[in-house]
Structures are given as C-alpha cells and as structure tokens.
Amino acid sequence: MILHNLSQRTVVSGCHTCAPRSAVRTALRSQPLRTPTRLPNTVVAGFPHIRDSNSRSRSSLTARSIGFDLTGSGPTKSVDKQAGELTRAAASLLLFQSVLKGSAGEAFLKVLQHLQKGSPTALLQHYEEFYSALASGGHASLQDYLLDKLLAGRENSIAKNCANGSLPADSPLNRAARHDLDVLQRLSVAETTLAAWVKEAAPWVADEWLAAASSLASRQSPPEGGAHSLEVPENPEPPACIAAPPTAYQQQLWRERIGDQWKWSAGLEDLRYYWAAHGWGLTGSHSTLQWMNGKFQAFKASPAGGAPISWTNMDEQLTVDMQKAAAAEVRKLMAGDPAQPARHVLAGSSNALPGQQLWQALVESEVPHGLRLVYLPRSQYAHVDELAYGMSLHPRIRFLVMCIGLDVTKPDVVIVDAVSGIGVSQWPANALLCATGTGLENRHWTSCCHVVHGGSVDDNDWPN
C-alpha cells in the first residue's frame, strides 16, 4: 500500500480491499491535517457577484457608490477612513495651503471632518455650504476650484517669486511644490464620489438629492474666432513684463493643461510659466483696480449695485489729448528703455475734468498690452505712500494710476510731491500717474511730467 498526498488529499494506492482498515486509518493519521486552500474571492463562472459557497472567507455583497473604483477585487475602504486620509493629506501641504482657504475650500474640509465623526445633519449643512460656494464662484467642479486657486497664486511664495523673476530654475522650492501638487490632485474628489459619501452617512436623503448634489456649472465654450488651445513654448522665457490676465476661456485651458496631467507635479514648469507671464493675486487676474484701505480691489467705473463714479464736466478734446499723451507714455513704460523714460501725464483745467471717457479709452487701448489701471479715490489721497509700496511689490507689472480732480492747494499735494520726486514717498519705477486738477498751473514741474492743458499737449515743463 502506497500513500500519496495529491492536492491536499491523501489517497491510498492499491486495492483497498487488500489492506486492513486499521492500517489505512493509522496511515491517514500520520499525515498532517491540512485545510483546503481556496481564494476568498472565488466567484462562480458567469456570475461575478456571487461567491463560491465553499469559500472559507465569506462576505456580504455591498454596492459601491458612484465615483468609487469598481474594478478592485479587495474590500472598499470605509468612508470615514478615506475622509481621514484626505484630511491628513490636506494638513501636509507645504506651500499651497492657501488653495484651501476661502468658503469652498473650508467647507470641503468640514465635510471631510464630519464624514469621520459628527452628526449627519451637520454634514449635510456643510455640504450645502461647499456646493453653494462652488456654484456662486462659477466652478464646474472641485478640481476646477483647486486649480483656479492654484493659478491665482495668492499667499504663495513660489508664485510671487516667479512673477517677480527671482526664482531660480533649480530652486529647492520645486520639490515642495511638486509634493503639494500631487496632494491637491488627491484632494480633487469628484462630486459624485463626495455626494455618495454624504448619502451613505445620511441614507434618508432622496436619490434626487444625490443627482442634484453631483451637478455643477458647465464649462466655458471656446469663443468664436478665438484660440482653441494654449501655446506654451517648450523652453519658455518669461516676458519682459507681465501680460494681460487670461480670459475666462484661456483660464479653462490652463486648468485643463494642469489637471489632465497623469500627475499634477508634472505640470510645475507650466505653472511657473503662467505665474511669470500673468502674475499672482488680484493684480494677476484683474486689469482694472482701485486702491482702498491699504490694498488693491477689483474695480469697474460703474460697479454693479453701486453708484457710478462721479466724473462729470467732460471735455471731449481734453480727453482725446490726454488719451494720446497717456498712451505714448505707457508705451515707453512697457518698453522699459532707460534712454526714453516714461513721464507722468497731468492736465490743469479748472472747468474740464476728463474722467470716465478717458478711463474707458485706456481700457480699450492699453489694457490688452498688460497695463493695470488703478483708480485712486479722493479718500485715499493721503495714503499714496501705501499705494506706491503696493505697486513696488509687483515690479514686472506696469501700472497707470488715475486721479481725477486734484487740488494742489489742499492735502492732495502729497500725490504731486510723490510723483515729482520731491516728497518723502518713493514712487516706483513701474508706475505712472495720470491726473487732472486745479492749481497745477502754479507748480513748477520737473522733466518727469508730461503736461496736457487747454485742449493741447505741451511736451515742455509747465511754465513757472
């Protein structure tokens, strides 16, 4: 009698009738006891959702939520664990923490926290805050929101250094930036997934809620006759000065260029080029600004929901002459030729103060070339030194500051002194003043000023 161990079974060779049963039992006991080995996820052929009834590892079938990986064979991580991992990932950001600041980012973090622990009702309220913030900002997804904030570069040292032209190509910050980009990619959870997590924690919400909570704004369509793709040089050199802010569709193309990377860290060079070309913060995203309470603000001549700026008593010829003079000086400013320095543009007129028409003319003629127009309200004249410092923080941006209705017999004179070089404030070399007012004819101007008066342009200094 010969005993064989074949596939975890002990078989007695030979005629079973010739061997005593006791001998067979003794031989079997001498073999080590082995448990049949089976794959825990063995499925019945043709029925992948039914497990083998003989499988040692049995688990109940659980439907996976929208946005989950449906191809994995292992058990899905619980929602609270996944939310916890994302929360810890967000805390590990080194340079780009500011991307998660703001109503949508902060509400997103609260959703993750309440998915780990917290009441389902509070979770739904935070998801509503998150959804509303994305919708009010016109973002088509959480990914678009994160990429928009990333491109804006606020409170971002690497973006500021790129915009100022002071970041070496081999900067140690590159490594931290690549780490953060991959973390942000991981945080860009699809809305279908996030909403499904919330519904799992609050199962009483209707299926209609899940469908609605997963839908946001649509993407921009390409403009007629406009570029349908970005042209980024292979070895890009930053332009001499900051260009105009991207249009809404160009911004979408930039988001797609970074977001479509297999790993967002591979898009760092593109990001560096973007910041070098368009700048950072509000000055990088807006061409028309005003200085108020120590900072730049987005500005329109007639802001929606507010009273229009009172720029009355327009003189058409003076407006045309000032526009021509301002355009000529802005071109010099943009060129940056030391042999032809740009000069401030002033107009002395007691009865004709050009304003809104001049502003709009400059918006149409100079803003496309990268100029930032800054309106300085009368209430801020005494803080011109703060404005000067604020503009100096953006040395590659070219600014034109407009003041309407200066009166050199009043405290407004601090502005004139600043741009004339005789005041205590240091006016930055990347900015010009375009101003109208009374009493200017009584001042002696240095060669830094280009004077327009009486409907004509005077290329000489204002007479004594």
pLDDT digits (tens, 9 = 90+) for 395-414: 999 999 988 777 766 666 67
Residue 12 pLDDT exceeds 60: no
Average pLDDT, the chain: 76
pLDDT digits (tens, 9 = 90+) for 273-298: 999 999 999 999 999 999 999 999 99
What is the CB-side half-sphere exposure of residue 285 using CA atoms within 13 A? 15
pLDDT digits (tens, 9 = 90+) for 213-262: 988 866 666 565 455 566 666 666 777 889 999 988 889 999 999 999 99
Q: What are phi and psi of 121, to 5 degrees?
A: -65, -45
Pair 267, 150: CB distance under 8 Å: no
Residue 159 pLDDT exceeds 70: yes
Predicted local distance difference test score (pLDDT) of residue 265: 97
DSSP string, 388-441: HHHHHT-TTS-EEEEEEEEETTTTTHHHHHHHHT-SSS---TTEEEEEEEESGG
Closest to 454 in 3D by CA, of 441, 442, 445 = 441
The β-bridge relationship of strands 456-458 and 449-453 is: antiparallel
Predicted local distance difference test score (pLDDT) of residue 430: 92
What is the CB-side half-sphere exposure of residue 455 using CA atoms within 13 A? 5
Domains of the chain: 1-35 (no CATH), 79-220+230-279 (no CATH), 316-458 (3.40.50)
Q: What pTM did the predictor assign?
A: 0.75
Residue 416 pLDDT exceeds 80: no
